[in-house]
C-alpha cells in the first residue's frame, strides 16, 4: 500500500496532483519515437571496431579489405580523425578522450575504427575485414595498484605524465578533524568498496547525424539528456558554427546518467555524415553499451568516525581511491573533481570532517559518475550511513537511536555543514520517526531477538540520507566553464491553450505531465491544454539539461516563474478589459476579478483572446500573452529521507531476501505524487540491485566480465518486496513552488539500508561489514570470515 490511492480513480487536477502521465498513451500504444526509429532517405549505417585488449600498442591497422567491401562507403580510423584534428575530444571533466585510438588502446572495448556501409549487417561484416596488429601491454586493473612505482603509465598521451594520478582533492578542515578525533572516546574505522556499476537503460546509446551539404546545417538525433550542452560541445570540438547545429533528443528509453556525455560513436556518426554527404546512423548493441559507455562509482573508501561514549558523533575522516578508468569521463564539476562527495557528513551535526579523494586511471572503460548518483552523493551517503552503523556496533547501541541522537535538528536550518554546504530545509527526526513507526521497528527488533534464538538470520537496516540536487548555482557547478542557468518560454495562444518550451529533457520521468502541471497550477489552465516542448535545440531555450535531479529544482522553477510572468501580464490585460486599476484585481486560480465583485472575473482564456485582439492595451504592454525567463538558482535543494529495510538470510545458501522496505521521502512540495512514487519505486529497485547483485568485474588481464545481462545482473520484481512509502513535506524555502528534486533519492539512500540490514543479520557470525553486492558467495564468505572482493575475478 502506498500513501496515494489508485490514479485512475482520481479526477484530473487543474494543477498539482496525481494525474496519469500525458506521455503514456503514446508509449503504451507503441508510438514512442526513439533514435533508432529515425530513418532518412539514403541513410547509411555505422559500426564500431573495438579493442579486444585492455592495454595494447597499435602496431598496424589495415582497412583495405573492409574498404573493398561492395557495400562499404567509408572506413574512418584515428588517423583519418587526426587529419581533421578530431582524434581526441574533451570530456566533461577537463580531460581528453580518444575518439578512435591512434597510438594505443587503453580499455577493452575502446573504439578503434568506424565502418560506414549501406546497411547495418554489411557494416558489422566489414568490421571483421579490418586487420589490426596489437602489441599487448601490461594492464592496470586494480585501482589499489595504480599508483605503484612499477605500474605502467596509462596516459602517456599527455606530455610529462609520469603516473596514473587523475587528481588529488580534499575538503574539510584536517587540523580541526584531528583535534576532534584526539578528544573522542571512541573511534571506529571501516574500509568499503562501492563497486563499479552501470545504469543499463532499456535503450542503448546512438545517433543519427545528417549534414546537409547544401545549407551546411548539421542535424543530430541522439540519445542525450542534455541537447544544448551537446550542441555547444559539437561546436567547440568540431569547429562548426553553433547556429548550424541542431541537436534533437527524441523519446529516450531511460538515461539514468548514461546519456549525459558524448561518446565516440556520436562523433564518428557526425564525421562520417560530413565525409559521405549522407545521413549516418549509429546505434550500439547491449554489450557495447555495458562495456564502453559510462560506468559509475568504483570508489574504494576508508572511513573513520569519532564519537563520545554516550553516542554523540564528533567527526568523520575519509580517504577515497577513485577509479576513473582510462579517461576521466562524464560530468565532473570542475570545481569539485570528486563531484559532490563533499556532502559526506550526511544528515548529522558534526564538529569537523575531512576527506581526501585521489582519482586514478586504470585500463577500464571511462566514465566516473553517472547512475542516479547526484554526482557522487550516492557514494557519500553509503559511506556515512555504513560508518554510523559501524559505530553503533562499536558502542553497542541501536543504530536507529544513534541516528536520532545525531540528526540535524529542524531549528538548525538553514544549516551550513562543516564542509561548507548550505542545507536549505528539513525536519529529519520527523522523517526518521515516521519510517520507524511504519516499519514497526520495536516489534521487528523483538522478532529478531526471537528468531536469533532459533538460529534464524534476520536483519534490520536503517539509513538516512540528505541529497544536494539542482545543479545550477555557479559556486557549486559548471560544465566546461558553462554556467547552469536554464531558460523557459511560455506562449498562451488566443484560445487559452499554451506551449511551454524547456531546456531539460525527459528520459522517462514524466516531464510532459509534471511541467504542464506546474504551469496549470499557476495559471488555472488544465494540464491537458499545455504542451511541453523539449529535446530540440532549434525549438527550445538554452539550458544544460537533465541530470543530478535538476529538472524540478531548476527548470521547474523556471516554469513557475515564466507562468507568473504571464499571469502578471494577464493582470494588465484584464485591467484594460475591466477598466480598473491592476491593483484592484484579485487572482483566484484561473481568473482575475475586481476586488469585492467575484462575478466580474476574466479567465486566462478570455484574457488571452483579448491580448491578441484589437483591445486598447495599457501603456507598456506589447500584446499577446507570452513570456520567457532564465532561472539562476540561488542554491541547491536538499531532499532527504529515512529508509528501513528488513532482510532474511538463508543460513544454508547465504541468499538474501528483502522482506520489507519502508521509504519515507521528503522532496518538498510534490507536483505529481504518483510520478514521485514511481521515481522512488524505480530507485529502490536500483538500490536493491546495487546492494545485492550488480557489479562490473574484470579479470586480471582487464577483460570485462559483465558484457551481457547473463553476467551483469539487474533486479526484477522477484527481488523486490512490495515497497511501502511514506512522506513528509518540508518545502524548499528558495524554490518558487517549494519543490526539491527526487529522481535519484531512492538510489542514493537505499543501498546503505540493505547492506546495514545484511550486516545486522550476520551479527551472530561476528560480521562487521560486507561489501556490495551481497551475493550469496559474498555473504557465505563473510560468514566464514574470509571476505570476497567482487570487482576483480580474484578469489
Ligand atoms: N517531481 C515532482 N515533485 C517533486 C520532485 C519531482 O512531481 N517535488 C517529478 C518531476 O516533475 C519529474 C520527476 O518527478 O517528473 C523527476 O523529477 P526530478 O527529481 O526533478 O528529476 P529530473 O526530472 O531532473 O530527472 C533526472 C533524474 C536522474 S538525474 C536520473 S539519473 C534518473 C531519474 O531522474 N533517470 C531516470 N529518474 C529516472 N526515471 C526514469 N523513468 N528514467 C530515467 O532515465
Ligand atoms: Cu547521476 S545520473 Mo542522473 O544525474 O542523470
Q: In 3D, which of 185, 169, 466, 181 has the Cα closest to residue 352? A: 181
Centre of ligand 1 from the C-alpha of residue 259, in Å: 14
Q: What is the pLDDT of residue 7?
A: 42
Q: Is the CB of 331 under 6 A from ligand 2?
A: no
φ, ψ of residue 120 to 5 degrees: the values are -60, -40
**Residue 409, Cβ neighbours under 10 Å: how many?**
12
Q: What is the pLDDT of residue 615?
A: 87
Q: Whose CA is nearest to atom 5 of ligand 1?
A: 741
pLDDT band for 477, please (50, 70, 90 cuts).
Answer: low
What domains sit in the chain, N to C, each tagged with a CATH number?
24-32+485-631 (3.30.365.10)
Q: Is the CB of 739 under 6 A from ligand 1?
A: yes
Do 277 and 213 meet the contact criterion of CB atoms below 8 Å apart? yes
Centre of ligand 2 from the C-alpha of residue 586, in Å: 42
User: pLDDT tens for residues 364-418?
Assistant: 999 866 889 889 999 999 999 999 999 999 999 999 999 999 999 999 999 999 9
Q: Which residue of 227, 371, 554 sits with most ligand 2 atoms within 8 Å of its CB, as the best mutation to test the pocket?
A: 371
More confident residue, 331 or 229: 229
Classify residue 146 as exposed, middle or buried by CB count within 10 Å of its CB (0-12, 13-18, 19+): buried
Q: In 3D, which of 469, 465, 474, 384 has the Cα closest to residue 424? A: 469
Q: Is the CB of 726 under 6 A from ligand 2?
A: no
Q: What is the pLDDT of residue 8?
A: 41
Centre of ligand 1 from the C-alpha of residue 747, in Å: 12
Q: Which ligand is nearest to the CA of 371?
A: 2
Mean pLDDT of 673-686: 98
User: pLDDT tens for residues 614-669?
Assistant: 888 888 888 999 999 999 999 999 999 999 999 999 999 999 999 999 999 999 99
Centre of ligand 2 from the C-alpha of residue 277, in Å: 35
pLDDT band for 337, please (50, 70, 90 cuts).
Answer: confident
User: pLDDT tens for residues 141-156?
Assistant: 999 999 999 999 999 9
User: pLDDT tens for residues 544-579?
Assistant: 999 999 999 999 999 999 999 999 999 999 999 999
- Give the C-alpha separation, 399 to 406, whole Å: 11
pLDDT band for 489, please (50, 70, 90 cuts).
Answer: very high
Residue 589 has pLDDT above 80, yes or no: yes
More confident residue, 184 or 480: 184
Q: Is the CB of 114 under 6 A from ligand 2?
A: no
Contacting residues for 385 by C-beta, under 8 A, at least 6 apart: 346, 463, 464, 465, 752, 753, 756
Q: Is the CB of 457 under 6 A from ligand 2?
A: no
Q: What is the pLDDT of residue 1?
A: 35
Q: What is the pLDDT of residue 333?
A: 59
Do 435 and 344 meet the contact criterion of CB atoms below 8 Å apart? no
Q: What is the pLDDT of residue 479?
A: 62
User: pLDDT tens for residues 267-291?
Assistant: 999 999 999 999 999 999 999 999 9
Q: What is the pLDDT of residue 538?
A: 98
Q: Which ligand is nearest to the CA of 746?
A: 1
Do 307 and 186 meet the contact criterion of CB atoms below 8 Å apart? yes
Contacting residues for 193 by C-beta, under 8 A, at least 6 apart: 299, 300, 301, 771, 772, 789, 791
Q: Is the CB of 225 under 6 A from ligand 2?
A: yes
Q: What is the pLDDT of residue 241?
A: 95
Q: Is the CB of 548 under 6 A from ligand 2?
A: yes
Residue 483 has pLDDT above 90, yes or no: no
Q: Is the CB of 372 under 6 A from ligand 2?
A: yes
Q: Whose CA is nearest to atom 21 of ligand 1?
A: 549
Q: Is the CB of 548 under 6 A from ligand 1?
A: yes
More confident residue, 8 or 154: 154
User: pLDDT tens for residues 439-465?
Assistant: 999 999 999 999 999 999 999 999 999
Q: Is the CB of 91 under 6 A from ligand 1?
A: no
Determine the atom of ligand 1 nearest the C-alpha atom of 469.
19
Residue 9 has pLDDT above 80, yes or no: no
Q: Which ligand is nearest to the CA of 331?
A: 2
Residue 3 has pLDDT above 50, yes or no: no
Determine the atom of ligand 1 nearest the C-alpha atom of 669.
8
Q: Which ligand is nearest to the CA of 517?
A: 1
Centre of ligand 1 from the C-alpha of residue 374, in Å: 11
Q: Which ligand is nearest to the CA of 532?
A: 1
Q: What is the pLDDT of residue 335?
A: 74
Q: Is the CB of 550 under 6 A from ligand 1?
A: yes
Q: What is the pLDDT of residue 185?
A: 98
pLDDT band for 6, please (50, 70, 90 cuts).
Answer: very low
Q: Is the CB of 511 under 6 A from ligand 1?
A: yes
Centre of ligand 2 from the C-alpha of residue 546, in Å: 8
Q: Is the CB of 264 under 6 A from ligand 1?
A: no
Q: Is the CB of 169 under 6 A from ligand 2?
A: no
Residue 13 has pLDDT above 90, yes or no: no
- Give the C-alpha separation, 672 to 514, whole Å: 6
Q: Which ligand is nearest to the CA of 376?
A: 2
Could you tell me if residue 481 is left (phi over 0), alpha (psi between -120 and 50 degrees) or otherwise beta?
left
- Give the C-alpha separation, 506 to 665, whole Å: 22
User: pLDDT tens for residues 236-257?
Assistant: 888 889 999 999 999 999 999 9
Mean pLDDT of 168-187: 97
User: pLDDT tens for residues 525-540?
Assistant: 999 999 999 999 999 9
Under DSSP, the state recorded for 164 is -
Q: What is the pLDDT of residue 334?
A: 63
Q: Which ligand is nearest to the CA of 667?
A: 1
Q: Which residue of 547, 551, 683, 747 sits with most ligand 2 atoms within 8 Å of its CB, as the best mutation to test the pocket?
A: 547
φ, ψ of residue 786 to 5 degrees: the values are -125, 80
- Give the C-alpha separation, 513 to 503, whole Å: 15
**Percentage of the chain modeled with pLDDT above 70:** 96
pLDDT band for 742, please (50, 70, 90 cuts).
Answer: very high
Determine the atom of ligand 2 nearest the C-alpha atom of 225.
5
Centre of ligand 2 from the C-alpha of residue 549, in Å: 7
Q: Which residue of 744, 746, 748 sits with most ligand 2 atoms within 8 Å of its CB, as the best mutation to test the pocket?
A: 744
Centre of ligand 2 from the C-alpha of residue 692, in Å: 21
Q: Is the CB of 295 under 6 A from ligand 2?
A: no
Residue written as grid cell 544536494 = 468
Q: Is the CB of 194 under 6 A from ligand 2?
A: no
Q: Is the CB of 671 under 6 A from ligand 1?
A: yes
Report how far apart, in Å, the C-alpha atoms of 654 and of each of 302, 649, 762, 779 are.
Answer: 26, 6, 10, 6
- Share the mean pLDDT of the chain: 94
pLDDT band for 11, please (50, 70, 90 cuts).
Answer: very low
Centre of ligand 2 from the C-alpha of residue 524, in Å: 32
Amino acid at each position: 500500500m502506498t500513501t496515494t490511492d489508485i490514479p485512475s480513480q482520481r479526477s484530473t487536477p487543474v494543477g498539482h496532483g496525481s494525474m496519469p502521465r500525458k506521455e503514456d498513451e503514446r508509449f503504451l500504444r507503441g508510438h514512442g519515437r526513439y533514435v533508432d526509429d529515425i530513418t532518412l532517405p539514403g541513410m547509411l549505417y555505422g559500426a564500431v571496431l573495438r579493442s579486444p585488449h585492455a592495454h595494447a600498442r597499435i602496431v598496424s591497422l589495415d582497412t583495405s579489405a573492409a574498404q573493398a567491401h561492395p557495400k562499404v562507403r567509408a572506413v574512418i580510423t584515428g588517423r583519418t580523425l587526426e587529419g581533421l584534428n578530431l582524434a581526441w575530444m574533451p570530456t566533461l571533466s577537463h580531460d581528453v578522450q580518444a575518439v578512435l585510438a591512434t597510438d594505443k588502446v587503453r580499455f577493452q572495448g575502446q573504439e578503434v575504427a568506424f565502418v560506414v556501409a549501406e546497411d547495418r549487417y554489411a557494416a558489422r561484416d566489414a568490421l571483421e575485414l579490418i586487420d589490426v596488429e596489437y602489441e599487448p601491454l601490461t594492464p592496470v586493473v586494480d585501482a589499489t595498484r595504480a599508483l605503484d612505482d612499477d605500474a605502467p603509465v596509462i596516459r602517456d598521451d599527455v606530455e610529462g605524465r609520469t603516473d596514473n594520478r587523475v587528481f588529488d582533492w580534499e575538503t574539510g578542515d584536517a587540523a580541526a578533524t584531528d583535534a576532534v578525533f584526539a578528544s573522542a572516546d571512541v573511534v571506529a574505522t571501516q574500509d568499503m568498496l562501492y563497486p563499479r556499476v552501470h545504469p543499463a537503460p532499456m535503450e542503448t546509446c546512438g545517433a543519427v547525424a545528417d549534414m546537409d551539404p547544401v545549407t551546411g546545417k548539421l542535424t543530430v538525433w541522439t540519445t542525450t539528456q542534455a541537447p544544448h550542452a551537446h550542441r555547444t560541445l559539437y561546436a567547440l570540438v568540431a569547429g562548426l558554427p553553433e547556429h548550424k547545429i541542431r541537436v534533437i533528443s527524441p523519446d529516450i528509453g531511460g538515461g539514468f546518467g548514461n546519456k549525459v556525455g558524448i561518446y565516440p560513436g556520436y562523433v564518428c556518426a557526425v564525421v562520417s555524415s560530413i565525409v559521405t554527404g549522407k545521413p549516418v546512423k549509429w546505434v550500439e548493441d547491449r554489450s557495447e553499451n555495458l562495456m564502453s559507455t559510462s560506468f559509475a562509482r568504483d570508489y574504494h573508501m576508508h572511513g573513520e568516525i569519532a564519537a563520545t561514549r554516550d553516542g554523540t558523533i564528533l567527526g568523520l575522516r575519509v580517504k577515497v581511491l577513485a577509479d576513473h578508468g582510462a579517461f576521466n569521463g562524464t560530468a565532473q564539476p570542475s570545481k569539485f573533481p570528486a563531484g559532490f562527495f563533499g556532502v559526506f557528513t550526511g544528515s548529522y551535526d558534526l564538529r569537523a570532517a575531512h576527506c581526501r579523494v585521489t582519482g586514478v586511471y586504470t585500463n577500464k572503460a571511462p566514465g566516473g559518475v553517472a547512475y542516479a548518483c547526484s554526482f557522487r552523493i550516492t557514494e557519500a551517503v553509503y559511506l556515512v550511513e555504513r560508518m554510523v552503523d559501524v559505530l553503533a556496533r562499536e558502542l553497542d547501541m541501536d543504530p536507529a537511536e544513534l541516528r536520532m541522537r545525531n540528526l540535524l535538528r529542524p531549528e538548525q536550518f538553514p544549516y551550513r555543514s562543516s564542509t561548507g554546504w548550505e542545507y536549505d530545509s528539513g525536519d529529519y527526526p520527523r522523517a526518521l520517526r515516521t519510517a520507524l513507526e511504519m516499519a514497526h521497528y520495536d516489534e521487528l527488533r523483538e522478532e529478531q531477538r526471537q528468531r536469533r534464538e532459533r538460529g534464524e538470520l534476520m536483519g534490520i537496516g536503517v539509513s538516512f540520507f540528505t541529497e544536494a540536487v539542482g545543479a545550477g548555482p555557479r559556486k557549486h557547478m559548471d560544465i566546461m566553464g558553462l554556467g547552469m542557468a536554464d531558460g523557459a518560454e511560455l506562449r498562451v495562444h488566443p484560445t487559452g491553450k499554451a506551449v511551454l518550451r524547456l531546456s531539460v529533457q525527459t528520459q522517462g520521468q514524466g516531464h510532459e505531465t509534471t511541467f504542464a502541471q506546474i504551469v496549470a497550477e499557476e495559471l488555472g489552465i488544465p494540464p491537458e491544454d499545455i504542451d511541453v516542448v523539449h529535446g530540440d535545440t532549434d525549438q527550445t531555450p538554452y539550458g544544460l539539461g537533465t541530470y543530478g535531479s535538476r529538472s524540478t529544482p531548476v527548470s521547474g522553477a523556471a516554469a513557475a516563474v515564466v507562468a507568473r510572468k504571464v499571469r502578471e501580464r494577464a493582470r494588465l490585460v484584464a485591467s484594460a478589459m475591466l477598466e480598473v486599476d491592476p491593483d484592484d484585481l484579485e487572482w483566484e486560480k484561473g481568473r482575475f476579478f475586481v476586488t469585492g465583485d467575484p462575478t466580474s472575473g476574466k479567465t486566462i482564456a478570455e484574457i488571452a483572446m483579448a491580448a491578441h485582439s484589437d483591445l486598447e492595451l495599457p501603456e507598456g504592454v506589447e500584446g499577446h500573452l507570452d513570456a520567457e525567463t532564465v532561472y539562476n538558482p540561488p542554491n541547491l535543494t536538499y531532499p532527504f529521507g529515512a529508509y528501513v529495510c528488513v532482510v532474511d538470510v538463508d543460513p544454508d545458501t547465504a541468499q538474501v531476501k528483502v522482506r520489507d522496505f519502508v521509504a519515507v521521502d521528503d522532496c518538498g512540495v510534490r507536483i505529481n505524487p504518483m510520478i514521485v512514487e514511481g521515481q522512488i519505486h524505480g530507485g529502490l529497485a536500483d538500490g536493491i540491485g546495487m546492494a545485492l547483485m550488480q557489479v562490473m568485474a574484470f579479470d586480471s588481464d582487464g577483460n570485462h566480465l559483465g558484457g551481457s545481462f547473463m553476467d551483469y545482473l539487474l533486479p526484477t520484481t522477484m527481488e523486490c518486496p512490495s515497497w511501502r512509502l511514506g512522506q513528509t513535506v518540508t518545502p524548499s524555502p528558495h524554490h518558487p513552488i517549494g519543490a526539491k528534486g527526487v529522481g535519484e533519492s531512492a538510489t542514493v539512500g537505499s543501498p546503505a539500508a540493505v547492506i546495514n540490514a545484511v550486516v545486522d543479520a550476520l551479527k551472530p557470525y561476528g560480521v562487521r561489514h560486507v561489501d556490495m553486492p551481497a551475493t550469496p558467495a559474498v555473504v557465505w564468505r563473510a560468514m566464514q570470515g574470509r571476505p570476497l572482493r567482487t570487482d576483480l575475478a580474484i578469489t
